[in-house]
């Protein structure tokens, strides 16, 4: 009996080591990808600064074309110290010639004012702010930007950071649960309208009415509103909806895993969701775990 117990303990220990090794490799891969994107953004900015110094304002038209200064999701944009957008190789191209202060939220204005007031000292500075993308369907995603002033022009290159953490998922769940508890109908309308209170980068809220088991709100895909959550399966056929309903039926909280389409990258990835029972509703928020999902594309979200 002791020998069997020892063998079982050793087997569990080996599985635990394998799990930790896989988790470590996944985190290392994510860190390496982030460092690579940071390096590419800084490199593109340095090239743009040198090109602008050599060519002056003639460079602005080049920055605004789909050419050498647009690389995948990275692009150069330029703003003068008065806040006028001078060039952009991305979605902000529509702002060229306009005062950017009239196009951004009040909460963003202090950050842009600080950036535009920095002295010309040859240093590359950096900042974070929420910004839209051609592929985000109206969602504002955290963007990390490197910028440098040359004369009265500020040149910048940024990259999106769409992945939120489990801690941020729990924070968003807390916010949504409180809102559903106090004003359910108003909250459902806000979630479906992409109210910024109810999403953070790739996190979003969805709500299911427990009596009918149907979605009443979804912060990424309105086509799911009214659908039977219990009948929903993920990309590999797992009935995760019914699993979540079964768990929440006997508890105030639940956690469940499934493979789902990432709202920004479009890739199918492993997702871990937290759910809470709020009156007659299941309120849930999940976060994505890259490199753990299938390579297939989901067409349900």
Q: What is the pLDDT of residue 6?
A: 61
- In order along its 301 residues, the chain shows pLDDT tens digits of 555 556 556 555 555 555 444 434 444 444 455 578 889 999 999 999 999 999 999 999 999 998 999 998 899 999 999 999 999 998 888 899 999 998 887 878 888 898 899 999 999 999 888 876 655 556 677 788 999 999 999 999 998 776 788 999 999 999 999 999 999 999 999 999 989 899 888 899 999 999 999 999 999 899 999 999 999 999 899 999 999 999 999 999 999 999 998 887 778 899 999 999 999 999 999 999 865 544 433 334 4
Q: Which residue in the block uniquely carries the two structure tokens 């000292």?
A: 121
Q: Which domain holds residue 266?
A: 166-289
152 found inside a domain: yes
Q: Are residues 150 and 176 in the same domain?
A: no
CA distances from 297 to 134, 265, 267, 270 (A): 20, 11, 6, 12
SS (H, E, C) 19-74: HHHHHHHHHHHHHHHHHHHHHHHHHHHHHHHHHHHHHCCHHHHHHCCCCCCEECCE
Q: Are 157 and 127 in contact (CB under 8 A)?
A: no
Q: What is the pLDDT of residue 295?
A: 41
Q: Are residues 33 and 85 in the same domain?
A: yes
- The CA distance from 140 to 160, in Å, is 10
Q: What is the pLDDT of residue 124?
A: 93
Residue 155 belongs to what H/E stretch? strand 153-160
Q: Are residues 150 and 208 in the same domain?
A: no
Q: What is the pLDDT of residue 29?
A: 45
117 found inside a domain: yes
- The CA distance from 34 to 36, in Å, is 5
Q: Which residue in the block uniquely carries the two structure tokens 């992945």?
A: 163
61 found inside a domain: yes
Q: What is the pLDDT of residue 297?
A: 39
Work out how many domains the chain is built from and give that number: 2
Q: Are residues 125 and 216 in the same domain?
A: no
- The CA distance from 266 to 223, in Å, is 16
13 found inside a domain: no
Listed residues 106, 125, 160: the one ending a domain: 160
CATH number at residue 221: 3.30.450.20
């Amino acid at each position: 009996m002791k020998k069997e117990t020892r063998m079982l303990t050793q087997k569990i220990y080996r599985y635990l080591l394998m799990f930790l090794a896989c988790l470590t490799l996944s985190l290392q891969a994510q860190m390496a990808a982030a460092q690579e994107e940071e390096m590419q953004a800084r490199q593109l900015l340095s090239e743009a600064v040198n090109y602008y110094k050599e060519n002056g304002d003639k460079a602005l038209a080049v920055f605004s074309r789909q050419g050498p200064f647009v690389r995948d999701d990275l692009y150069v944009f330029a703003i003068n110290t008065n806040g006028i957008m001078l060039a952009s190789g991305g979605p902000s191209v529509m702002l060229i010639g306009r005062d950017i202060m009239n196009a951004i939220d009040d909460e963003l204005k202090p950050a842009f004012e600080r950036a535009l007031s920095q002295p010309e000292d040859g240093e590359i500075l950096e900042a974070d702010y929420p910004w839209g993308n051609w592929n985000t369907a109206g969602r504002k995603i955290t963007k990390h930007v490197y910028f440098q002033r040359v004369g009265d022009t500020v040149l910048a290159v940024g990259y999106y950071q769409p992945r939120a953490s489990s801690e941020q998922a729990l924070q968003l769940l807390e916010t949504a649960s409180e809102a559903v508890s106090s004003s359910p109908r108003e909250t459902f309308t806000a979630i479906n309208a992409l109210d910024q209170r109810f999403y953070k980068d790739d996190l979003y809220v969805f709500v299911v009415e427990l009596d009918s088991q149907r979605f009443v709100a979804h912060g990424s895909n309105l086509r799911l509103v009214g659908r039977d959550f219990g009948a929903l399966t993920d990309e590999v056929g797992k009935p995760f909806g019914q699993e979540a309903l079964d768990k929440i039926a006997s508890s105030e909280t639940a956690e469940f895993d499934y493979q789902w389409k990432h709202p920004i990258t479009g890739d199918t990835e492993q997702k871990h969701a937290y759910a809470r029972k709020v009156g007659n509703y299941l309120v849930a928020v999940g976060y994505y775990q890259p490199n753990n999902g299938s390579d297939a594309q989901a067409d349900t979200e």
